[in-house]
Structures are given as C-alpha cells and as structure tokens.
Chains A and B, each alone.
Chain A
Amino acid sequence: MLISDTIAAIATAVGEAGIAVIRVSGPEAIPEVDRIFKSRIKLSDAESHTVHYGHIINPQTKEEVEEVLVTVMRAPRSFTMENVVEVSVHGGVISVTRVMGILLQQNIRLAEPGEFTKRAFLNGRIDLSQAEAVIDLIRSKSDRAFSIALKQVKGDLSQQIKKQRFTLIETMAHIEVNIDYPEHDVDSLTSSFIKDKCSEVMEGITKLLKTAEEGKILREGITTAIIGRPNVGKSSLLNTLAHDNKAIVTDIPGTTRDVIEEFVTINNIPLKLLDTAGIRETLDIVEKIGVERSKNAVNEADLILLVFDASQPLHEDELVLMEQIRGRQCIVIMNKIDLPSMIDMDIVKRYFNEESIVRMSVKAQEGIDALENAISQLFFSGNLESNDLTYVSNVRHIALLNKAKQSLQDAYDAADQFIPIDMIQIDVRLAWEQLGEIIGDTAGDSLLDQIFSQFCLGK
C-alpha cells in the first residue's frame, strides 16, 4: 500500500438503477483516465468541476467500450483534496465492470476499504473530531474485506495461481543464484530458458483469464437462498422469478455444488438465486437432504427467502430453520394463499416482523410484485448490502492477471534482446508479486528460502 498513488472504486451501490459512478483519486488521476477516454476535449485541458461526454476506450484496440460522462475535480477542491475524476456509466453490472477493469489495468489500483475517507481526513478535509469514526470505518471495512478475501483464496483460482508462482519463483531463484554466486557451478542461464519459463506461465495466465472472464458475471450479485421444506413451492418460485425477470444466465454446467444457481435482476438489482433443493428432491430421501442443503445455502447467502406452505401446519423442521436464520436478512413467503390457511402465524411472527412477510401464490401468480418490492425495499434502504467487495475483487483479479501477463511479456522481450538477466528479473519478480497480490501473498522472504532449498551454496 502506498499513500500517494492513484486509486479507484465504485462510488455507488452496485445494481442501483440508472447510473453508476466510479471515483478515481490521486495525483495521476487526470492523465491516467485521459489515456482511456475519447472525447472532443482532453481532460488535462479541462477546467475543474466540468463534465465531459465521451467514451471509455480499450487502450490496446482503441475500440469504444462504454458511453460515459466524466467529471474533473482538481485538487484541492474535491472530496479527497486530491485530483479526482468521476466516471458515470450506465447502471448495471456489466458496464461498470468493464470500465473498472480498464481503469485497473492503468497505473491505478483498487482503493483499500475506507481509503477515500482516509485520504480526505489526512488531507485535512474532514474534521479532527471524526478521526475515531474514520478509524472505525477502515477497521470494519477491512475486516469484512479480509474475510471475503479469505473465502476466495481457498478456491481453484488460488491453486492455479500458486502453481504459476512456483514456476516463477524457481526461475527467480535460478537467476538469483547466478547473480549472487557467480562462481558456483549451477547451470548457467540461457535466454531461451527464461523465455520458455515466461511463455509457460503466460499460457497458464491466459487460461485463467479465460475462466475468469467467463465466470465474471456468474459470480456476482446478491447471493439469495430460497429455503424451505420440500413441496412448499421453492422451485416454482425460482422459475417464476427467473422467467418474469431478465435471466442473465441459467444454470452453470458442471458445477459441483448440489445447488442450482440462477442469475436474475429484479428492479435492476442483480441476484444470484440458490435453489437449495431443486431437481434432486425427486431422487433422494426428501426430508433429510432438504434440510442439509438448506443449511449450507443459508451460510453463504446475503439474503434468505424462506418459503412456507400456508395451507399446512408448521413442521418441526421449519422451527429448526427459523431458529437457524434468526437475525439474518430474510423475507418470509407465505405461499399457497389460494388454499385455506392452516399455518400458525403467531409462531412465525415470534421470529419475523410483519413487514418482512409476503403473502403470495406462486401457482396463481399472485403477490409476485409484493415480493419484488420487498427485495427492492431492503436493498435501497441499505439494509441489504450487495456484496460488492466480492464482485469488484473479481475485476481486480482480472486486472492483476493482465498486468502479470504484461510483465512476463516484457521479461520475454527483454530476454529476446539479450538484456542482462538482472534486469529481466525485475519484470519476472513484478509478475510474481502481481500474482501474489491476488492471493494475498507478497512476502519477499520466500525467494531466499527457495534459493537455499534449491541450490547447495556455501563457503
């Protein structure tokens, strides 16, 4: 982390209707955005506090990517008292992701949690009395980001990155031994050896990028679990929501999870719906598996839709479920209101207040609007936080993968021109660090460990 580099973050809640705003702050904010902004005016010539129409372009292909409005605010007349550029893009996940992705491939990094506020404070914009509040904000946001990051590094991506980094660190150790122990009888390094290693890792990164780009949209949105006993109408609800609304993607082939995922936007809010039982209900021992799956889905959800069959009395399992999700963001759905009510509402109301209960009949297509409104309400009231950290970190991963690939290309080209190995090493090391940033590991000490375990050195 540096205190005076240029940073960016999405300033509006993800999925909010209309527009999304990306804020860029730092000494180089204006020239960095200028590089990817096509308009009649150069931002570096623009006066402070003016808005400019134009397009964000892909700097490699010069292709127009998004239509945007860009606001320039020069230091010190901005929130952070640094140079600030705000890019307004069309609302929705796709536009904002694309623009953010391009920004992060410039000399701009994703802001740390609370960093804009921190800079505003450090630059004297925020009153002294707010210091504690600023610290609390940094702490809480960082802790949350940390727990999300932890979740992410456990996956397949992290395994793949570790593999690539291992190839790099072996190569680096080899280079270092040649430099620090010039008389030692290790294999001398040829430029073709370095080129081969760079190519190998670049190929690996290209594969990773492909997966990441494809998976980009899939993994984003508010994770919403639909839970409840078998036959209360969960799957019908899922299908209704998916068909009534614009489904971005349906199903993920080859998923290993026992859950079906549907991606929908409801009033422009991206939701990732998890149907916790789905197709397997008919194949397996219904009761047991239904409850087990619900448990898992509940744990990872941002929002829970708990479905009851209002025409049946409360079941023991349902009491367990209610207990289990106490205190979580939840909407209770009383389904099958077209049938005579048998459910004991008094017990349900011990767990949930009236506002979070929606009465509907999925079969009769009644009350769907009420459910959608309830979800919007929760979201826009700020009670339901879109998990935008997960969502943005994916963009960040892609940007870092691209940067690492570029560094390796630089190393490759340098080796091709017979540039000395200690300089080639600068870019190899950079690539290793950039990959490390994705999985939160940039400790330099491991290079020394590698050198001494790989080579026999001594006096």
Chain B
Amino acid sequence: MSYAGGDYDVIVIGAGHAGVEAALASARMGCRTLMITINLDMVAFMPCNPSIGGPAKGHVVREIDALGGEMGRNIDRTFIQMRMLNTAKGPAVHALRAQADKFSYQHTMKETMEKEPNLTMRQGMVEELIVEDGHCVGVITKTGTEYRGKSIVLTTGTYLRGKVIMGELAYESGPNNQQPSIKLAENLREHGFDLVRFKTGTPPRVHRDTIDFSKTEIQPGDSKPKFFSYETVSSTNTNDQLPCWLTYTSVDTQQIITENLHRAPMFSGIIEGTGPRYCPSIEDKIVRFSDKPRHQIFLEPEGRNTAEYYVQGLSTSMPEDVQLAMLRSIPGLEKVEMMRNGYAIEYDAMVPTQLYPSLETKKMPGLFTAGQINGTSGYEEAAGQGVMAGINAARKVQGKEPIVLNRSQGYIGVLIDDLVTKGTNEPYRLLTSRAEYRLLLRHDNADLRLTPIGHEIGLIKDDRYERFLTKKNTVELEIERLSVEKAKPKEVNALLEQSDSTQIQDGTNMLMLLRRPEVSYSVIEQLAPSPYELTDEMKEQVEIQIKYAGYIEKQLIHVERLQKMEKKKIPDTIEYSEIHGLAIEARQKLANIRPISIGQASRISGVTPADISVLLVYLEHYNRVTAARG
C-alpha cells in the first residue's frame, strides 16, 4: 500500500555533501524542497578523512561559498585545524585545508538545514522513481510514501548496491555499516541507465591514548589562519587548534603486507570495482612501488570530543588481524588499539556521459544526479556538483535556463565538463592539473569569478553582494592609481638599495615597481599610501593582479578565443546521422554525448578538428535555413 506524502518543487534524495548543498540551494532559491535520507543522523557525514580542502578541492569549497553554498561556512565553524598549503608557490595554487571536527560538522550542518524555511527533512529509503511520459515526477519510499516533485536530485553516494569488503569477508552495506540502497539501483537499471561498479576505501581508526606521539612529528595549524568563507571574519577555533602527527611505515609493515597479499581482496579477485589510482590502498602502494622504503602516515584527530584518530596513508581492505599487525609495525603505534577497521567499499555509479552539463539526465527530464553517483570521489567534488544540481533543479522549476560554469570560470566547471564530456573510468578526483587555466582559477578570486552569478540566481544576498562590489571597485581603483602614480627615483632607490634591487629611472610608475619579484605591496604602501581604504584581502588582490599580470593576460587571451566556441550553441534537435561528412566515430560520439556547444563538442575524444569544421558548416546551414523559415 502506498499513500501520498506531498507535493514539492524539488526532491533531493540523500543527505551527504552533495545532497545538503542541493537541498539548501534549491530551498534558498525559493523552491519548496524535500530532502529524504536513509538515516537523519548521517547528514553531512564524513565517512573517510576528517578534512576538507587542499589543492583544487579547497578551491572548490571557495567556489561553493562564492556561489552561496554552505560548505565553506560550515567548516569555518567546525574546524580543529586550518593550514594554508603551497604558500611557497604561486598564488593560484595556494590551498586552504582544514581538519574538521567531523561530529560537530554534521550537527552544525543539520541545524542549518532544520532552520531553513523552505526545506523539509525526512528519513526514508527511496526505492523507486515515479516516471510519467518519460519525465521523472517523484519517488516512492520503502514505507510506501509517494512524494511528488517537479525536479528530482539523486545523490546516493556509495550507497547504491554498496558492498563492504575486508579480507575474505564481504557483505552488503553502505559506508560505516549503514543500510545500502539496493532496490533503487535496480530501478535505475530498469529505466535504462548505464551503471558502473566503482570502489573506494578507508583506513582504520585508532585510540588516541594508545599512540606514542613522541615517536612522531607534530604538524600544527597556522597561527593566523585564513577561512574558507568570504563571510567568515574570525573564529573561536583559531586559538584552540589540534595538531596532526606524521610517522612512517616500517620495513616490518612492508613484510606483513607482502606475506599476507594472498588474503588481500584486491589481489584475490573478490573486488570487481575499479578503484582510483590516486588513492590506492597501502597494499597497492607496496606492490606497485616496491622500491620505496617507507610511506608517510598522518595521524589526524576526528574531533574534539572523541579519542578516535584517522590513520591517513593506510587505506586498506586487508583482513582485520592483518590490519592490526600492520598498525603495530608503525613507529608510535606499537601498542595501538584499533577502534574501527579499514575497509573497501564497492558501489554503483552512473556513467556520467548520460548527463547534460546542467547535471540533468538526458534520458529522463526532471532527474538530476550529483556527487559520487556521477563517478567522483571526495566531499568537495560532491558538494560542488550538489550546489549546481540544486541550482539547476530549482531553475527548471522556475522555467529558467540552467547555469553551466565553463572551464575558465571554476574548478566546478572543469569537474562537470570532464564528467559529462569525457566520462571517467575510475572514481574522479579533482587535481589542479586538470584545469587549463590554473592561474585564473585562484583561491583568492573565487568571489570575483562567481559571486555575481550567485547574486543573480538569488543565493547571495544583497548586503553581501554590496560588500563584494566595494571590494571589486576598490581593487580596480587602486590598480588604476598605481598605474599613473610615478615613483620618485630619489626616495625609491634608497629603499631598493636595501633589498639589493636594481635602481629605477625617471618615469617608472608604481605598478611597474610592484611587478618586480622582490617588491611587495607593503613596500609600495610605504612609498605611496593609498587614498582608499583597503582591507588585507583587497591588498592581496591588488598585488596578485599586478604581479602576475603577464601570465594572467596570456591565459585570458586564450580563454577569450575559446569563449567563441562555447558560445556557439548546438540545438538539441540536431540529427547527427543526417550530417554527411562527419567521420563515423565522431558521429557516434556526438550522438551519444549531445554536446550543448561547439566548445564542448571539440573536447570529446575522437572528434577531430575536421569534424568540428564540418559541424560548424552544417550548423551555419541549419541556422540560416531555420531563420529563413522564420
């Protein structure tokens, strides 16, 4: 027996990092939103490492925040350590990384969601989609409740036909012994979706009081930390940070693993799913890099009010007894007590080329998917897709065009474009090297890139937008000022001499002076104080934009040219089989991916420049004929 559970604008299934962002974005954009999840205690749960950020991932968190998402704010409230990585490198790859109090992170997020007026939260296991005329119009839960919605967002994480594996043992389960979602996976298959089997894993957790920290190196946080959210000004966590600890595997660890390899499911054949290369298990690392004498192990606290420590670097699906032996072979962990064992988990994921760049499925209008179900790994990657899926699900309800970020606008754009255009044959992790325009996609300028969009779609409130505009304008005015203000050789050269810098000539302006690697904005400020009121953030922006102008300009020129290809839209009505002159491979790939623009088409592997030329000529013909018909 089923009964009607209610009508909503947007229904989000799942409450992981993708689900919460999707639900919050949709609700905040004015849509009546329902979020259903198997266990409401698991909202925004971190089943693996207790940290957020790092290169590319941290950039995504900044982008989510710039668009009006929640992850940045939430981690700023709940971090136990904050570190800026890569500070010796260029500003584009500076990357903020936080250790989270994973329990506090969850509770804080849940509280935020509970307070959201347009958002309803329900515990329940969705087993079936309601499909009418090919459109997804709702879901049915295990208890028989039928919820109706105009847009549905699926964020199933690793729950779809989840299977936990450890040594010889394998059982159906979601992460952390949660119930897996079996019937929904079957239902998706019945509707004709292509699913693949992926695998990921997590290391054991150990008890703090059984670690001998004297044998490890301390890894403290920054004393003056920066924050993820543009809204966070200060935090009480700053003066109350917990360190992480570094140790290494030993020769014994290697030997234990080698002797027990026959019991490792990766090698015995129990695991069928494809695991990620960038995050191999320890047994994998020892086999593939046998000449490496030791591997790093970071010990990371899981929260303030828990003694559990996460053993980063020791992801494993070895049997429990081997895991314990491995742990105790590591300096500092000789007497360690294991609280939870590590495990591998296999799950079903969608082949992401079944999606439009809006994250709506091509096969079933009204159905969106986001997060690990799309073949990614990582909380940040999930949240980035979640916020976009939430935005586009809401915009569909509102009858508006989807928002698609391109590759020069953000890592979120790179991530989604890669997924829907190229697909992935392993769990996809963002890396800064995946971005062509790394220098444009900086940690510091996420707001300049995305906050205007966040404001336009209604996720960034007016007061925050005003503050943003003030920042932007002040930075522009200051750069303008420096480009006209001449430096006086007399004053300047005395200062330059101190830093062994070449002397300047008459007519040099402040901007040229600031371009010198050895001259910082603070020097300029001393020489020629600004008439404007600049915050530290603004000063940083002025310095970066001037110092790296040459490289930035080069990338901008390229982007501008590519933009023309992104702007050439391909109508969805086009029939690739009718275009003579396309190579067979290109025709098949184009018909499968159905790119929205010439730009996207050109990134499909197997589509050659000649095919793009043919397509352009055909489109021109098509457009002229359509125009002539009126």
Interface residues of A (CB under 8 A from B): 1-5, 112-115, 118, 121-122, 128, 131-132, 134-136, 138-139, 142-143, 146, 176, 178-185, 417-423, 426, 443-444, 447-448, 451-452, 456-459
Give complex CA distance A323, B85 in Å. 72
Partner of A421, one of B48, B90, B277: B90
Return 30 A-B CB contacts under 8 Å, by A number: A2-B565, A112-B609, A112-B610, A112-B613, A113-B610, A114-B613, A118-B617, A131-B620, A135-B580, A135-B614, A138-B614, A139-B614, A179-B93, A179-B433, A180-B431, A182-B85, A183-B85, A183-B298, A418-B517, A421-B89, A422-B438, A426-B439, A426-B551, A452-B278, A456-B288, A457-B278, A458-B284, A458-B315, A459-B48, A459-B313
Residues A2 and B562 in contact in the complex (CB < 8 Å), given A131-B621, A136-B581:
yes
Give A418's nearest chain B residue, CB to CB.
B517
CB distance from A293 to the nearest CB of B (A): 36
B193 CB–A CB distance under 8 Å: no
Across the interface, B564 reaches (CB within 8 A) one of A4, A139, A459, namely A4
B613 neighbours in A (Cβ, 8 Å): 1, 112, 114-115, 118, 138, 142
* CA of A428 to CA of B202, assembled, Å: 36
Of the 9-residue stretches B289-297, B323-331, B503-511, which lies at the interface with chain A? B289-297
Residues of B within 8 A of A132 (CB): 580-581
Contacts of A3 in B (CB 8 A): 564-565, 568, 598, 616
Q: Given A118-B613, A459-B315, does the pair A176, B433 have CB atoms closer than 8 Å?
A: yes
Set of chain A residues within 8 Å of B618, measured between Cβ atoms? 131, 135
CA distance A184 to B284 in the complex (A): 17
Task: Contact check, B90 vs A423: say whether CB atoms are below 8 A apart.
Answer: yes
- The verdict on A423 contacting B55 (CB below 8 Å), with A458-B278, A459-B313 known, is no
What 7 A-B pairs are tightest by C-beta distance, nearest first? A420-B90, A142-B610, A1-B609, A135-B581, A456-B289, A131-B621, A452-B277
A457: nearest chain-B partner, CB-CB: B278
B625 sits at the interface (CB 8 A): yes
Q: A1-B609, A121-B620, A131-B621 are in contact. Are A182 and B95 (CB under 8 A)?
A: yes
Measured in the bound complex, the distance between the Cα atoms of B624 and A302 in whole Å is: 41
Q: Which listed residue, A122, A136, A146, A458, touches B616 by the CB 8 Å rule?
A: A122
Closest to B312 in A: A459
Most chain-B CB neighbours within 10 Å: which of A4, A183, A448, A452? A183
Known: A115-B613, A452-B278. A138 touches B581 (CB 8 A): yes
* B282-338, CB < 8 A from A: 282, 284-285, 288-289, 292, 295-296, 298, 312-313, 315
Assess whether A142 is in contact with B55, with CB atoms less than 8 Å apart.
no
Asked if B279 and A180 sit within 8 Å, CB to CB, the answer is no
The smallest beta-carbon distance between A150 and chain B, in angstroms, is 13
Q: With A180-B432, A426-B554 in contact, is A458–B56 under 8 Å at CB? A: no
* B residues 246-285 touching A (CB-CB < 8 Å): 277-282, 284-285
Contacts of A2 in B (CB 8 A): 561-562, 564-565
**B-side interface residues, number (CB < 8 Å):** 66
Complex CA distance for A136 and B432, rounded to whole angstroms: 41
Q: Tell me whether B184 is interfacial, beta carbon within 8 Å.
A: no
Residue of A nearest to B516 (CB): A417
* Chain A residue contacts of B561, Cβ below 8 A: 2, 4-5
Q: Are A179 and B616 in contact (CB under 8 A)?
A: no
A2-B561, A420-B90, A458-B284 given; 13 more Cβ-contact pairs under 8 Å: A2-B565, A122-B617, A136-B581, A179-B93, A180-B432, A182-B85, A420-B89, A422-B89, A423-B439, A426-B554, A444-B436, A451-B431, A456-B289
Complex alpha-carbon distance, A143 and B586, angstroms: 14
Q: Which residue of A lies closest to B314 (CB)?
A: A459
In the complex, residue of chain A having the shortest beta-carbon distance to the beta carbon of B579: A135
Given known contacts A2-B565, A131-B621, A422-B90, is B598 in contact with A180 (CB within 8 Å)?
A: no
Of chain B, the residue at the smallest CB distance from A117 is B617
B241 at the interface (CB under 8 A from A): no
CA distance in complex: A239, B358 (Å): 70
Cα A183 to Cα B116 with chains together (Å): 38
Q: What 1/0 mask marks residues of chain B from 590 to 630 whose CB sits below 8 Å from any chain A CB?
A: 00000000100010010011101110111011001100000
- Known interface pairs A3-B598, A180-B56, A459-B203; A139-B581 also in contact (CB < 8 Å): yes
Does B542 count as interface, using CB distance less than 8 angstroms?
no
In the complex, what's the smallest C-beta–C-beta distance from A164 to chain B, in angstroms?
Answer: 20
- State the Cβ distance, A230 to closest chain B Cβ, in Å: 45
CB-defined contacts of B565 to chain A, threshold 8 Å: 2-3
Whether B86 sits at the interface, judged by CB under 8 Å, is yes
Interface centre among A4, A138, A176, A443 (most CB of B within 10 A): A138
Output the least CB separation between B205 and chain A (Å): 13
Report the nearest B residue to A131, measured CB to CB: B621
- Check if A456 sits within 8 Å of B612, measured CB to CB: no
Q: Which of B571-588 contact A (CB under 8 A)?
A: 580-581
Known: A142-B608, A180-B431, A423-B548. A456 touches B92 (CB 8 A): no
* Distance (whole angstroms) from the CB of A34 to the closest CB of chain B: 18
Interchain CA distance A179-B443 in the complex, whole Å:
14
> Of all chain B residues, which has the CB nearest A107?
B557
The residue in B203, B289, B598 that gathers the most chain A C-beta atoms within 10 A of its C-beta is B289
Which residue of B is nearest A430, CB measured? B554
Q: How far is the CB of B431 from chain A (nearest CB, A)?
A: 5
CB closest residue in chain A, given B605: A443
Cβ of A184 to closest chain B Cβ, rounded Å: 7
Distance of B323 from chain A, by nearest CB (Å)? 16
Asked if B155 is an interface residue, CB under 8 A from chain A, the answer is no
In Å, the complex CA distance between A114 and B611 comes to 12
* Complex contacts, B282 vs chain A, CB 8 Å: 458
Distance in Å from the Cβ of A398 to the closest Cβ of chain B? Answer: 21
Chain B residue with the shortest CB-CB distance to A176 = B433
Chain A residues, Cβ within 8 Å of B432:
176, 179-180, 422
A105 to chain B, nearest CB (A): 17
Q: Nearest chain A CB to B630's CB is how many angstroms away? A: 16
Given that A118-B617, A135-B581, A176-B431 are contacting pairs, would A184 and B296 also be in contact in the complex, using a CB cutoff of 8 Å?
Answer: yes
Q: Is B49 an interface residue (CB 8 A)?
A: yes
Contact yes or no, B580 A182, CB < 8 A: no
Q: Contacts A142-B608, A448-B433, A459-B49 given: A134-B564 contact, CB under 8 Å?
A: no
Question: Contacts of A146 on B, CB cut-off 8 Å?
Answer: 610
Contact string, B191-216, partner A, CB cutoff 8 A, digits 1/0? 00000000000010000000000000
Q: Are A182 and B620 in contact (CB under 8 A)?
A: no
Q: Which residues of A contact B554 (CB under 8 A)?
A: 426
Q: Which listed residue, B93, B313, B438, B624, touches A458 by the CB 8 Å rule? A: B313
Q: Find chain A residues with CB under 8 A from B295 CB.
A: 456
Given contacts A5-B561, A452-B278, contact A180 B55 (CB under 8 A): yes
Contacts of A176 in B (CB 8 A): 431-433
Q: Which chain B residues border A1 with CB–CB below 8 Å?
A: 602, 609, 612-613
Kindly state the separation between the CA atoms of A128 and B621 in the bound complex, as whole angstroms: 6
Our pick among B55, B292, B612 for the contact of A182 (Cβ within 8 Å) is: B55
Q: Which residues of B contact A417 (CB under 8 A)?
A: 517
Check A458 against B280 for contact (C-beta < 8 Å).
yes
Q: Which chain B residues border A122 with CB–CB below 8 Å? A: 616-617, 620
Note all chain B residues with C-beta closer than 8 A to A421. Answer: 89-90
Contact residues, B77-97 vs A (CB, 8 A): 85-86, 88-93, 95
Q: Which residues of A contact B620 (CB under 8 A)?
A: 121-122, 131
A183 to B580, CA, bound (A): 53
Contacts of B598 in A (CB 8 A): 3
Give the residues in chain A near B48, CB-CB below 8 Å.
Answer: 459
Chain B residue nearest to A136 (CB atoms) is: B581
Residues in A with CB closer than 8 Å to B313 are: 458-459
Is the Cβ of B610 less than 8 Å from the Cβ of A131?
A: no
Contact with A along B435-450 (1 / 0, CB 8 A): 0101100000000000
Please indicate the chain B residues that have their CB under 8 angstroms from the CB of A143 in the complex: 610
Considering only CB atoms, which chain B residue lies closest to A138 in the complex?
B613
The docked-state distance in angstroms from the alpha carbon of A113 to that of B610 is 8
Q: What is the bound-complex CA distance between A115 and B616, given in angstroms?
A: 11
CA of A278 to CA of B89, assembled, Å = 63
